[in-house]
Amino acid sequence: MPSQKVTINAPQDKVFTYVADISRHGEWGDPSQKLQVEKSSEGPVGQGSTFRSVGHQFGRQEDTVTITEYTPNRRVVYESQGKAGHLRHWFEITPSGAGVEVEKGLEVVKAGFPFVIFRPFVTTFISPGALKRDLERIKTKVEAV
């Protein structure tokens, strides 16, 4: 399962709140995917919260996203399911100096269309470079506020 890390100069709770709010994924995700995410469950963000995601990667993709693990200020895991398959994403946040170290990981639980057909190109989607670019966009957003 590939992962990457970045240090963010911001309080741990601020960083966690930002990455755990999956509806903000479009702010830091790959801009070419034009991702839009909205919360589809009631109540505060936490384990069991659901979201509806629409993006454009290998064509229009609609996914249901569910937070499957939620440890405040420490770890959030969310899983997306749709035509592309079942993907598991996670963030681990640990104190580091005046800020935090954020690790982001992604694994394909079950590949669906189009990943099965375009398997050679999927490595670009989950490459360490793509994960690092996501983390750099998160860093820029969180540190700017």
pLDDT digits (tens, 9 = 90+) for 37-78: 999 999 999 999 999 998 766 666 788 999 999 999 999 999
Any idea what the CATH number is for the domain that residue 49 is in? 3.30.530.20
pLDDT of 97 > 70? The answer is yes
Per-residue pLDDT, averaged over 74-102, amounts to: 92
* Spatial distance between the Cα atoms of 104 and 116, rounded to a whole number of angstroms: 24
* Spatial distance between the Cα atoms of 73 and 64, rounded to a whole number of angstroms: 24
- The amino acid present at 53, given as its one-letter code, is S
Quick one: pLDDT at residue 111?
63
pLDDT of 114 > 80? The answer is no
Strand ranges (E), the chain: 3-8, 36-39, 50-56, 60-71, 75-82, 85-96, 99-111
Domains: count for the chain: 1
Q: How confident is the model at residue 33 (pLDDT cuts 50, 70, 90)?
A: confident
Quick one: pLDDT at residue 123?
47
Per residue in 101-111, pLDDT tens? 999 998 877 76
* Spatial distance between the Cα atoms of 51 and 59, rounded to a whole number of angstroms: 20
pLDDT of 124 > 50? The answer is no
Quote the domain boundaries for residue 29. 3-144
Quick one: pLDDT at residue 126?
56
Say which residue, 118 or 37, is predicted with more confidence. Answer: 37
Quick one: pLDDT at residue 136?
95
Per-residue pLDDT, averaged over 72-101, amounts to: 92
Quick one: pLDDT at residue 30?
83
